[in-house]
């Protein structure tokens, strides 16, 4: 339960220790991808906001996630990587912990259901990534039980900490940090759920060419059109 989490370190000490560990690891040649977000909303764009709202929904259902927000906001997520149905993270707290989160991919029936729900309502990949599609379609895509966003039952969590809770604070921090990355690169959500975004488009055919200049400006990331 959330009330059982009592950090041994004060917030300032937690942040200082994380910064020291990050600097030491980087000085040792580690290639890290730290995530820190101190904003109130944690996300600004459609899919990032949808992820955060979904976590709030899960928390209201009893999932303990609040300690993860604290760790994220104090720079304790020293490394985070999203790959096919997987999140790997390095999280600093009283010790340095390795987090491995695996997600069940959308099963064939669920993927077919979402594709049918999208029907002919999504014209372009850019529209899908921006969340600029019919509201009824968005309701299907963001449905808490049958949509793209993972339910608590979809996660398989492992952390090197001794905490018995699931998620532990370090796993919760990684889940929130993943939402921050999805906010800047929404295609990561589809990677995480093991589904091709183009499969939800109207007459998907060959993958469409994206306006990378617009995407870079919208999400604040650099996109190499050659990739």
Of 159 and 5, which is predicted with more confidence?
A: 159
Q: Domains of the chain: which residue ranges? A: 12-19+31-203
Mean pLDDT of 84-94: 97
Record the pTM. Answer: 0.83
Phi, psi of 6 (to 5 degrees): -125, 100
For residue range 155-201, list pLDDT tens digits in order: 999 999 998 888 999 999 999 999 999 999 999 999 999 988 888 87
Between helices 66-73 and 169-184, what is the axis angle to 10°?
60
Per-residue pLDDT band for 220 (boundaries 50, 70, 90) equals low
Helix H, strand E, coil C: the string for 57-83 is: HHHHCCCCCHHHHHHHHCCCEEEEEEE
Cβ atoms of 17 and 9 within 8 Å: the answer is: yes
Tokens at 41, concatenated? 């909303």
Tokens at 10, concatenated? 């004060």
Query: pLDDT value at position 207?
Result: 38
**CA distances (Å), origin 135, targets 81, 166, 175:** 31, 33, 26
Mean pLDDT of 84-103: 96
């Amino acid at each position: 339960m959330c009330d059982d989490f009592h950090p041994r370190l004060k917030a300032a000490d937690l942040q200082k220790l994380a910064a020291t560990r990050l600097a030491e690891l980087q000085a040792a040649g580690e290639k890290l991808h730290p995530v820190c977000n101190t904003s109130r909303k944690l996300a600004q764009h459609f899919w990032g906001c949808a992820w955060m709202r979904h976590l709030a929904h899960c928390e209201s259902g009893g999932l303990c996630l609040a300690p993860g927000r604290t760790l994220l906001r104090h720079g304790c997520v020293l490394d985070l990587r999203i790959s096919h149905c997987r999140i790997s993270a390095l999280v600093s707290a009283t010790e340095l912990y390795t987090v491995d989160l695996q997600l069940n991919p959308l099963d064939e029936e669920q993927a077919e259901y979402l594709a049918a729900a999208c029907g002919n309502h999504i014209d372009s990949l850019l529209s899908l990534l921006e969340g600029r599609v019919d509201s009824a379609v968005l309701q299907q895509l963001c449905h808490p039980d049958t949509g793209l966003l993972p339910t608590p039952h979809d996660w398989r969590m492992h952390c090197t900490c001794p905490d018995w809770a699931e998620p532990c604070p370090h796993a919760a921090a990684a889940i929130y940090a993943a939402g921050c990355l999805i906010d800047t690169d929404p295609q990561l959500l589809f990677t995480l759920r093991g589904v091709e975004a183009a499969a939800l488009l109207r007459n998907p055919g060959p993958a469409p060419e994206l306006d990378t200049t617009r995407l870079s400006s919208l999400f604040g990331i650099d996109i190499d059109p050659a990739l």
